[in-house]
Amino acid sequence: MERALTAAELTHRLPHRHPFVLLDGLHSIVPGVSGVGVKNISISDPVFAGHFPGQPIYPGVLLIEAAAQACGVIATDSEVIEDQTSIGYLATVKRFAFKELVVPGDQLMIQCARHVSLGSLIEFKCTVLVGKRIVAEGSVAISIGLGAGR
């Protein structure tokens, strides 16, 4: 069954904290399989102080991190991982391409779908959209491991 998590609920599922919780929501979650992360890009994000002064562009590396956070939650969802101290660690990044600039005012939809898995490793294919435009796409692998006693 598909589920959704709000930003507040995500803080209970991610080990990250401000300012590194990059998702504003996660919906259409099929545990262990797929989901769609939501990320609103705001000019008030401190990253724009330096990236770049007078020309705010959201860093591609943070698009990968946002996708990895979404995949981590999908991979360790309570319906597939009984031990809720488990978290998803980013293990590999493959063929990520950035096709258009992401700027303040954009709302990102980060579509994540499991491609292959083996043991505690799951590879997801990720497509980052603004409206109907694909702004980035690639794959990340998540390694499910024990958290640090959250």
Partner 1 sequence: MVQRTAQYERAVHRYELNAAVRRSIIGGLDLPVDPDLVDDDQPLFGRGLELDSLDTLEIVSLMEEDFGVYITDEQRFVFGSVNKLVDFAEASQPALDGA
What is the residue whose two structure tokens read 């769609």?
Answer: 36
Judging by DSSP bridges, how do beta strands 86-98 and 107-118 pair with one another? unpaired
What is the residue whose two structure tokens read 């006693």?
Answer: 149
CB-based contacts of 81: which residues, under 8 Å, 6+ apart?
Answer: 32, 75, 144
Between 115 and 150, CB nearer to partner 1: 115
Radius of gyration of the chain (CA): 15
Q: Closest distance between partner 1 and the C-beta of residue 117, in Å? A: 8
Answer yes or no whether residue 91 interacts with partner 1 by CB under 8 A. yes
Q: Closest distance between partner 1 and the C-beta of residue 144, in Å? A: 12
Binding mask of the shown chain, residues 110 to 149, with x at each position contacting partner 1 by CB under 8 A: -----xxxxx-x-x---------------x-x--------
Look up 115 and say whether it is catalytic: no
Total of chain residues touching partner 1, rule CB under 8 A: 12
- Rounded Cα gap, residues 57 and 43, in angstroms: 10
Instruction: List residues binding partner 1 (CB under 8 A).
Output: 91-92, 94, 115-119, 121, 123, 139, 141
Catalytic positions are 51
